[in-house]
């Protein structure tokens, strides 16, 4: 696993609409990723429009991403959430379900869905990946989203031509 955020991509975007679907569960960690994602998108894409949808937990993220892609002109969606493993397999089951659903949604719609619904063993891992300066999966997700939207634009498949 990487221990640093990849460098900021060089993107060619004059405007873009990015949706962020963020879980409220484990809110302190998700909020830190959300803030980092917003800040990074604003730094990379001059005229970015960001719409945030808050959902109760990680399990509700995919259905909301699906609804966003069906009902809006979004160039990419960033999915944010934090699942911390407990004493049962519930966290692993939710994590696998969310991962499979998000991948299927992205492929079906042909729109980038950046998956940062993180499954971690403990709060120390969550703090390091969501609140740290060296690693922040929210900022990383923003960079991936901007790079994918730019790539799709170059390919002639972006929603805003």
User: Could you give the residue numbers annotated as active site?
Assistant: 90
Q: How close are the terminal C-alpha atoms of the chain, in Å? A: 36
- Helix ranges, 2-112 (H): 27-44, 61-71, 90-109
Cα angle 108, 109, 115; round to 5: 85
Report the alpha-carbon distance of residue 19 to residue 68 in Å, rounded: 8
């Amino acid at each position: 696993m990487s221990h640093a955020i990849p460098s900021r991509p060089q993107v060619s975007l004059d405007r873009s609409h990015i949706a962020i679907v963020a879980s409220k569960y484990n809110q302190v960690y998700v909020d830190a990723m959300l803030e980092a994602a917003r800040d990074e998108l604003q730094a990379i894409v001059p005229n970015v429009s960001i719409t945030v949808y808050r959902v109760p937990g990680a399990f509700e993220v995919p259905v909301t991403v699906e609804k966003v892609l069906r009902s809006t002109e979004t160039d990419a969606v960033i999915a944010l959430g934090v699942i911390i493993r407990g004493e049962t397999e519930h966290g692993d089951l939710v994590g696998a379900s969310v991962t499979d659903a998000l991948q299927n949604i992205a492929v079906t719609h042909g729109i980038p869905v950046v998956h940062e619904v993180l499954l971690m063993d403990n709060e120390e891992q969550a703090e390091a990946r969501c609140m740290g300066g060296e690693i922040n999966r929210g900022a990383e997700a923003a960079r991936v989203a901007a790079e994918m939207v730019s790539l799709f634009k170059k390919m002639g498949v972006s929603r805003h031509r």
